[in-house]
Structure 1
Amino acid sequence: MPTVKIVILKHQKREDDTWNVKIRITHDRKSSYIATSHYVNLDSINKKTFELKERNNPIYDQVMIDVLKIREELSKLGHAIDLYSAKGLCELMKEKLSNKPDGVNFFDFGYSFADKMLKEGKRTGENYRIAVRKFEEFIGNKNLQFSDITSSVLMKYDEYLRSLPSKRGIGNISDSGVRLYTSKIQTIFNRAKLEYNDEDLGVIRIAHNPFIKYKIPKNPVTRKRSLTAEQIRAIKSYSVPDNMTGVMIARDVFIMSFIMVGMNSVDMYYLGIPNKGRLEYERRKTMNRRSDGAFISINVEPELLPYLERYKDSLGDRSFNFFVRYSTHKQFVHKVNAHLKKVGDELGIPDLTLYAARHSWATIARNECGISMDDVAMCLNHKSGHDVTDTYIKKDWSRIDRANRKVLDYVFG
């Protein structure tokens, strides 16, 4: 058990001939000190022992109240006290003496974490904000400390989520939905421990880990969403009445994505005009996580020319006018996927989404055209896994052009 004592450090005399009264905590043969608000001169110090006089000394009485409180709090720690160093115990006791609420508020930290991500341009910050808000709905208020989040609380939250209807309105939230919410809570929990704990100094403000007992549902095996060449040709030739503009755009966007090596909706929405016959952009999903900004350059193939003309931006700011037709890229992809589902239903392709164009391009490139995995990864603008080597080798965009030409020739002939 640590020892707690009132001390005066003789060598720390101030210019006004006074000394600060301190509280010393000794633990594992090491000492650390808490400075009090009290200063005394020689009249209040025992000249033999250089300790604070006890009799008829109101300062001693006031500091002793803090000492007794510290001893009480140390006793409450029980075996957890072994996690702390002497300095860590001093930091913890300072908080106890200041009468601040114990622990760290989960919702204050969680919302702040999400906002910080959004300010850094990371769109996943919105997912974290949604996850924190959903957890707040379950708790019923914002008065929740990290120490209150136990495995039992998480298990009840799991049950609560499974009782809610799914986004599609078919059945309740599944394993993947529960994982979506609880994994965000775990990330926030771990980030808070990194920020508030300092194991080297023995400062442990969040000591437990409820995710040891509560297990987040595993990611279900993703159903492959790649299509055959026949299905892609069927989408391209799918006849749409003139009055169904939304369905026509969805059909065309799917084929455009395939022609542009699986370009996703947000990049298509913001894509600048071609530069010397090439489409050059930074992939927005990963641009902030990579030193090269996730830059990629692809050739404008002949199959794309009719679409460039059909959806031409009259101002010449971007390649396509989707930003005029739809107020945000989120609305753009939502509408495209909603209409693609109708196309898929007509053609016997269940749950058709724009992402299937990217999956299909990659699968056909590898399995039907014999393109190497490294080249497929480069075409999809994935990290190569050779970070050091990449700094020495200049990107050869013609590799993407040759691979895309093979895929387009295979599918469209």
Structure 2
Amino acid sequence: MGAVKLVVWSRPNKDGQYPIAVKISKNGQTPSYIFTEHALSERSLWDSKAQQVTKAHPNYKRLNNLLLKKLTEATDTTLEMEANKTDSSTRAIKKKIKPVCGATFNEIADIYLKDQLALGQYNIYNADKPRIERFIEFAKNKNMPFSEITVGLLEKYQRYLRTCKNKNQKKSDEPKFISERTVVNHLLLMRTLYNRAIKAGAADVKNYPFGEEGKISIKFPKSSKIGLIDQEIASLENLDLSANPILNHARNIWLTAYYFAGMRITDVLLLKWSDIKNDRLFYTMSKNNEPCSLKIPQKVHPILEQYKTDEPRHDLIFPELKFLDTLNDIYLLQKRISHCVNYQNTKMKKIFAMLDIKKKSSTHVTRHSFAQRAEELGIHPRVVQELYRHESIQTTMIYQSNFSKKKTDEALDLVVG
């Protein structure tokens, strides 16, 4: 049988207090400890033989009653698990008594956000924190247990989300509701948190609300992907911006991304002079850590020439990230890149307006533009897959299908004339 007792930790915590814990031990097994929310200012306030706080503590009666409840709960759970012949290891008993993480939505969500910060995931943290706040606002209960997050509640949450206004738009703009893709992103986060709660023992898998057949099914809405046509690319290349170096630099970033097969802006901003060898670019994609080698197109050389005399720092070609002390702090790096992307998109919006191009101007459109041009020229999907570094040709085929209009255009011409 497992032995359950109350102990005081031998070392003080960061506050100089000695935590009180429930110790669960069995022969031949590593003991497990469940820390209570209580601690002592001195170890001398603990009677180890009686397993209680001494009378020298000002609140010894109340504290001993609370600790006795903890001890009784742990003892009863141990006996129950041994009687039912279930897994009664010290670790299993601990998990049964107290999940590895908190049992409420807010506790699981808080740990999730702290994990993103620890991993340096600025973009994920920045996107998911307001989504968590939105669910708490809807539920009106940040301490909601996962047992109450049911299919019915999530269906109400979906309807609620579709009535929410976009918080990122300017106050002067006409109010807009959040997109269907944003609704999906909220549900994806809820699924992630529920999965974490199950792993932590804070939720029961039998109550899992996501899936098919009467549960919450998450389906990504289809969106139109529109790139620039050849003439629009040419007008962008030929626009005289010699009098405006800021807009000229924004165009250089955009065109570099386009010339390198729709390279993601994170990778563009991280390009180094040492990545260039024998007229080829060798770099690692930030999204999937896939190594990539591309021929440097002739159109890229004039762009690179504009930055060769700049102050060298971190060996970077473009200046956006040069003022950072290090490129190894992932959180600060992602935060800086996020700000740069917003600034870049603002400048490109001005350039597109100058050219009367009524399409989205973000750097991601460079990927759509390259994909569209590749489809028009009939480049084999296997080649495009290699350029995009997709693991599966299926992914490439699905992506390229957004730009495959030739057959439908021909069919329309044949029928209509």
Aligned to 1:372: 380
Shift of 1:324: 4.2
1:301 to 297, 309, 323: 297
Please give the secondary structure, in 2, of the residue aligned with 1:341.
helix
Aligned to 1:319: 317
Aligned to 2:142: 142
2:209 counterpart letter in structure 1: P
In 2: Cα distance, 1:349 partner to 1:103 partner: 50
Shift of 1:275: 3.0
Aligned to 1:275: 277
Quick check: 1:266–1:284 contact (8 Å CA) kept in 2? yes
CA 1:133 to 1:311, structure 2 compared with 1: closer, same or farther past 3 Å?
A: farther
Shift of 1:94: 6.0
What's the CA shift string for 1:271-324, capped at 9, x where partnerless? 11123332221111122xxxxxx1112222221112112234421611222324
Give 1:219-368 correspondences, 5 Å limit.
219-240=220-241, 242-243=243-244, 245-273=245-273, 274-287=276-289, 294-312=290-308, 313-315=310-312, 317-324=315-322, 328-346=336-354, 347-368=356-377
Please give the secondary structure, in 2, of the residue aligned with 1:159.
helix
Aligned to 1:24: none
2:180 counterpart letter in structure 1: D
Shift of 1:232: 0.8
Quick check: 2:101–2:200 contact (8 Å CA) kept in 1? no
Q: Please say if 1:215 is aligned against 2:216.
A: yes
Q: Scaled by the length of structure 1, what TM-score is found?
A: 0.61
CA 1:240 to 1:144, structure 2 compared with 1: closer, same or farther past 3 Å?
A: same
CA 1:345 to 1:221, structure 2 compared with 1: closer, same or farther past 3 Å?
A: farther
1:322 counterpart letter in structure 2: E
Number of corresponding residues: 300
Give the RMSD, CA atoms, in angstroms: 4.0
Overall identity of the aligned pairs, in %: 23
What's the CA shift string for 1:355-391, capped at 9, x where partnerless? 11112212322331x32111111112222569xxxxx
Q: Scaled by the length of structure 2, what TM-score is found?
A: 0.61
2:364 counterpart letter in structure 1: Y
CA 1:247 to 1:98, structure 2 compared with 1: closer, same or farther past 3 Å?
A: same
Shift of 1:328: 1.5
Aligned to 2:21: none
CA 1:306 to 1:97, structure 2 compared with 1: closer, same or farther past 3 Å?
A: closer
CA 1:280 to 1:137, structure 2 compared with 1: closer, same or farther past 3 Å?
A: farther
Please give the secondary structure, in 2, of the residue aligned with 1:284.
coil
- Specify the structure having the higher radius of gyration (Cα): 1
Please give the secondary structure, in 1, of the residue aligned with 2:277.
coil
In 2: Cα distance, 1:357 partner to 1:193 partner: 41
CA 1:308 to 1:241, structure 2 compared with 1: closer, same or farther past 3 Å?
A: closer
Quick check: 2:102–2:108 contact (8 Å CA) kept in 1? no
In 1: Cα distance, 2:380 partner to 2:111 partner: 43
Aligned to 2:20: none
CA 1:103 to 1:262, structure 2 compared with 1: closer, same or farther past 3 Å?
A: closer
CA 1:95 to 1:121, structure 2 compared with 1: closer, same or farther past 3 Å?
A: closer
What's the CA shift string for 1:55-88, capped at 9, x where partnerless? xxxxxxx9xx98xx88xx99xxxxxxxxxx8516
In 1: Cα distance, 2:292 partner to 2:92 partner: 54
Aligned to 2:183: 178
Shift of 1:345: 3.4
Please give the secondary structure, in 2, of the residue aligned with 1:207.
helix
Unaligned runs of 5+ in 1: 1-7, 13-61, 75-84, 198-203, 288-293, 387-413
Unaligned runs of 5+ in 2: 4-68, 325-334, 395-417
In 2: Cα distance, 1:218 partner to 1:258 partner: 30
CA 1:101 to 1:352, structure 2 compared with 1: closer, same or farther past 3 Å?
A: closer
